[in-house]
Amino acid sequence: MAPVASAKAAPTRYKLRPVRRRWIVAACSFTLAAILFTGQVWVDYAYAGRSLPWSRAFAVALVDWELWTLIAPIVLLLAARVPLSRRRLARSLAVHLPASLGIAVAKLVAEGLMVRAIIGPGRVPFSLLKIHVTVLTYWAIVAAVQYAEQQRLSRERELRAARLQTELARAQVESLKMQIHPHFLFNTLNAIAGLMREDVELADTMLAQLSELLRGTLQTEGVQEVPLSEELRLLRAYLAIQQTRFGNRLQVAIDVPDGCRQHVVPTLILQPLVENAIRHGFSAIPGPGCIAICVSAKSERLRVDVTDEGPGPPQPLREGYGLRNTRSRLQALYGDDASLSVVPTNPRGARARLDIPLRGASS
CB contact at 8 A, 270 and 227: no
pLDDT (mean) for 3-18: 43
CA dihedral sign of residues 221, 227, 230, 231: positive
Give pLDDT, residue 35.
82
**At 109, is the pLDDT very low, low, confident or very high (cuts 50, 70, 90)?**
confident
Same-domain check for residues 152 and 297: no
Same-domain check for residues 286 and 244: yes
Ordered DSSP codes for 169-228: HHHHHHHHHHHS-HHHHHHHHHHHHHHHHH-HHHHHHHHHHHHHHHHHHHTTTT--EEEH
Q: At which of 91, 126, 158 does a domain end?
A: 158
Same-domain check for residues 131 and 198: no
CB contact at 8 A, 289 and 251: yes
Average the pLDDT over each of 154-158, 237-241, 313-317 and give the range with the smallest value.
313-317
CB contact at 8 A, 344 and 304: no
pLDDT digits (tens, 9 = 90+) for 26-62: 778 777 877 877 887 787 777 767 777 888 788 888 7
- Alpha-carbon Rg for the chain, nearest whole angstrom, is 33
First to last CA, the chain: 34
Give pLDDT, residue 14.
42
Distance CA 125, CA 335 (A): 56
pLDDT digits (tens, 9 = 90+) for 16-36: 566 677 677 777 877 787 787
Number of other residues whose CB lies within 10 A of the CB of residue 304:
22
Same-domain check for residues 195 and 331: yes
Same-domain check for residues 143 and 187: no
Q: For 39-66, b where at least 16 C-beta lie within 10 A, e where not — what string? A: eebbebbeeeeeebeeebbbbbbbbbbb
Domain count within the chain: 2
Same-domain check for residues 102 and 36: yes
pLDDT digits (tens, 9 = 90+) for 219-269: 776 677 889 999 998 898 889 888 888 888 999 999 999 999 999 998 888
Residue 272: give its domain's CATH number. Answer: 3.30.565.10
Domain hosting 268: range is 180-357
